[in-house]
Structure 1
Amino acid sequence: MKRIGIDIFAGAGGLSLGAEMAGITISHAIEINRSAVRTYERNHPDTKVICSDIRDLDPTDLKPKDKGVFIIMGGPPCQGFSLSNTRTRTMKNPNNSLFEEFLRFVQEIQPDWFLFENVYGFTNMSNGAVRRLVEICFRSLGYEVADEVLWASDYGVPQRRNRYFMVGNRLGIKFQFPQKHKKPISVWEAISDLPIVGNGEQSFEGKYLCSLAEATAYQRLMRHDSEIPTQNLVSLNNELVIKRYKHIPQGGNWRDIPDELMVNYADKERCHSGIYKRLKADEPSVVISNYRKSMLIHPFQDRGLSVREAARIQSFPDDFYFEGPISHIQQQIGNAVPPLLAKAVIQQILKLTEDHEQGQKN
């Protein structure tokens, strides 16, 4: 049975990819960023992608004439909700109103399910008032609602990243979030088979460092249908930045850099703890946000992460190809919902739906 999904605020398509892995057919996706749209179109050729401001669209134009929509999913842009932008986390920020567009699409299309995701900061915006308001609005539309903050590392993603999920349905199902995996995946389990590349190197095609048989289970999963690792692209850092990298041990950050190499910082003590962070090989990664701006460092090499390494840590398979300039690609990867996290949540939605449908037959 074909189950139709619509992805709004789709970005590069991490949420869609997870949904497709779980068995959903994505009929439409909406995204305003042109580079992200190009990435989405390349990797989801059977989906109609609409590059537009969502506020200009009529939801009923996306509704199939012959059947209903199973799920609407997406996350409004993070700028208004992110803890890193505390000054703008008020209802006056126009980005914050975009979640109302999600509500509008659900109200007009009336899918069986919705999946609303966002940054952790959404949970305490306006002291939790926004979260409660959104829940009340969905319930007023007839949806049974559950919400939770999930850690990607609990669902097979080699990254300590938390995301807020609100899931609802109008089938009367009490939703329970999926069980956690037992063992987290480390950075080195994820990327140790990828090519050694230099600072600023732009290697569009490379070679795996071990055979498929020698690869870890996670690496085999990520290789998917790919015979070579593509987009081994690293931003070029200047000589001073590379000198700083050399002083930072695994798990360390800017605090390990000698003061004489940080003279261009007006107040070194005000540096964010997440910058100049060298990843620990034997643990899941810290959050892959915009990993170029935060200067995330390879566990063993004195350079930033490559596009393919960051994509691996976000659980994008190696045959997923990103479009646009490298700075746009880095932002697309950092903004994405890890596909394996999305897959786990949507698999649970499908399981509970099938159980419910079976119960109605009996």
Structure 2
Amino acid sequence: MTINCLDLFAGSGGFTLGLKEAGIKTKAAIEIDRFAVETFRHNFPKVDMHHRDITSFNDKEIKSNFTGVDLIVGGPPCQGFSVAGPSQYGKLDDRNNLVLEYLRFVKVISPNMVIMENVKNFINGKLPSKDKVIDVVTNILDKLGYDIKIEVLYAPKFGVPQSRTRVFVIAIKRGCGLPFPEIHETHGPDKKNYITVGEAITDLPFISSSAGYDDSPDKLTYNEIELSTYQKMMRKDGKGIYNHISMKHTPRLIERFKHIPLGGSLLDVPLEHGQRARNGTDLDTKARFKMNNQRLDPSKISHCVTASFQSTFVHPVMNRNLTAREGARLQSFPDKFIFKGPRTLMSKSLLIRENREHEIGLSQYNQIGNSVPPLLAKAIGSAIVKSFKHKVNDTRRATHEFA
């Protein structure tokens, strides 16, 4: 039995990777960012990747390009719904309307199952029309003939070593015979067996600031330690260590990092080593941001890995920010998964101001932070496979009884 999937807003391929591990075939994918597309194509060369804006497809193209799709998955851009995005200031982000484009694909293709992923605040978010997005989504899916279930999933309960909560809207076509997927937690119900930061990354080389390699795995050697089960899983079928190069830090920044204790942040740094204001003066404690430069505690799970995590976290042992590979480990991407495109990029607003729009795209850090954690996607995929098998078994049983 083959389950064919279409991955919308596919990014670098976290959802597709998890589904593949569960036995689901991604037939096609759509992604607008050129660097994410480069990563996706490198890791999934057999998937029909469309490097296009989802709004550029007309209904006729959708029908002709994506026939035979049983499942649609994907996460419309979440920045507009995130508590760290425009919504915190009462602004409605036009990107939120891309949810409606997702639903247009559902309407045209009419797959048996649909799974939409987004941030937790998706439940409270609004469209530019000021309608609650969750109400609009469920109403449209209901009119299209789907039954709907909303799942709020906490990533550590599925073996992902970071505090990440995501909303999944699951819709099943009425009359298709599929039961709702039963998504089983693998690491719970208490926190004792959550995968920690130490279990996730301490076998990766402890490189210093501006050291390491992006695409030369033969030049890096894993730390010789007793491997955790998670580390063994991450290293399986890998061909070395890619994307493990650290950012170049100034001596002042490195000195600042030295004063951040395990589990601490910029708030714990003495004033003379703290963050400077634009005029060059030291910022007082009230002006510092707790979310900046958090040193990860190896005995605990990580904070949520976001698209901007390149400057958010400090390594548990080294006085530097995390590498892309360390971030990928915290997202549950195995070492065999290689990220393409620039390691870091300047901010979009700055590139626009300098008339350098051609450089805009998602860096490796952005791609990692935007992804659905593959282990979480695998758990969902395993549940989907069981749901489809249930339908097949019911059909066979009914045929046998009728005969």
Report the TM range for the smaller structure's normalisation. Answer: over 0.9
Among residues 209, 213, 217, which one is paired with 2:223 in the alignment? 209
- Partner of 1:230, secondary structure, is coil
Cα distance change on mapping 1:60 and 1:315 into 2, 3 Å: farther
1:305 and 1:118 map into 2 onto residues whose CA distance is 25
Residues 302-335 of structure 1 deviation map (CA, whole Å, 9 limit, x = unaligned)? 1111111111110111011111111110111111
Corresponding residue of 1:194 = 204
Contact 1:15/1:336 (<8 A) preserved: yes
User: What pairs up with 1:247-286 in 2 under 5 angstroms?
Assistant: 247-262=259-274, 264-265=276-277, 266=283, 268-286=285-303
The letter for the 1-side match of 2:223 is L
* Post-superposition offset of 1:174: 4.5
Q: 2:166 aligns with which of 129, 138, 163?
A: 163
Q: Measure the CA separation in 2 of the matches of 1:231 and 1:18.
A: 20
Aligned Cα root-mean-square deviation (Å): 2.2
TM-score (norm 2): 0.84
1:245-279 deviation digits (Å, cap 9, x = unpaired): 11111111111111122251356424332211011
Q: How does 1:113-262 map to 2 (within 5 A)?
A: 113-126=113-126, 129-170=132-173, 171-180=176-185, 181-182=187-188, 183-204=193-214, 205=217, 206-210=220-224, 214-262=226-274
Contact 2:179 2:390 in 1 (8 A): no
SS in 2 for 1:61: helix
Task: Return the alpha-carbon distance in structure 2 between the equivalents of residues 30 and 284 of structure 1.
Answer: 32
CA distance in 2, matches of 1:176, 1:17: 19
Equivalent residue in structure 2 for 1:306, among 292, 298, 323: 323
**C-alpha separation in 2, matches of 1:21 and 1:64:** 28
Kindly indicate whether the alpha-carbon contact (under 8 Å) linking 2:309 and 2:369 is maintained by their aligned counterparts in 1.
Answer: no
Cα distance in 2 for residues equivalent to 1:102 and 1:36: 19
- The Cα shift of 1:291 comes to 4.8
Cα distance, 1:263–1:88 mapped onto 2, change above 3 Å: closer
Corresponding residue pairs, total: 360
Are residue 348 (structure 1) and residue 383 (structure 2) matched?
yes
Give 5+ residue unaligned stretches, structure 2: 278-282, 345-362, 398-403
For 1:83-122, what aligned pairs fall within 5 Å after superposition?
Answer: 83-87=83-87, 92-122=92-122
Quote the residue 2:57 is aligned against. 57
In structure 1, the gaps of 5 or more residues are none
**How far off is 1:177 after superposition?**
4.4
Partners of 1:4 and 1:58 lie apart in 2 by 21
2:132 alignment partner, SS class: helix
2:26–2:47 Cα contact (<8 Å) kept: yes
* Deviations 1:29-83, CA, capped at 9 Å, x for gaps: 1111100000000000001111111100135535578962111110111221111
Residue-by-residue CA offset, 1:219-255 (whole Å, 9 max, x unaligned): 1111121142222111112222111111111111111
Q: Which residue of 2 aligns with 1:8?
A: 8
Change (3 A) 1:109 1:270: farther
Give the whole-Å Cα distance in 2 for the aligned partners of 1:136 and 1:288.
32
Letter aligned with residue 147 of structure 1: I
Tell me what 2:280 maps to: none
For the pair shown, which has the larger CA radius of gyration, 1 or 2? Answer: 2
Structure 1 residue 3 displacement after superposition: 1.4
CA contact (8 A) 2:27 2:69 kept: no
SS in 2 for 1:358: helix
Give the Cα separation in 2 of the matches to 1:338 and 1:96.
22
Q: Secondary structure at the match of 2:105?
A: helix
Runs of 4+ more than 6 Å apart = 64-67, 88-91
Asked if 1 retains the 8 angstrom alpha-carbon contact of 2:31 and 2:37, the reply is yes
CA change 1:19–1:89 in 2 (3 A) is: farther
Structure 2: which amino acid aligns with 1:337?
A: V
Residues 128 and 89 of structure 1: is their aligned pair in 2 closer, same or farther, counting only changes over 3 Å? Answer: farther
Q: Which amino acid aligns with 1:208?
A: Y
Separation of aligned partners in 1, 2:36 and 2:46:
16
Matched position secondary structure for 2:103? helix
Equivalent residues of 1:4, 1:70 under 8 A apart: yes
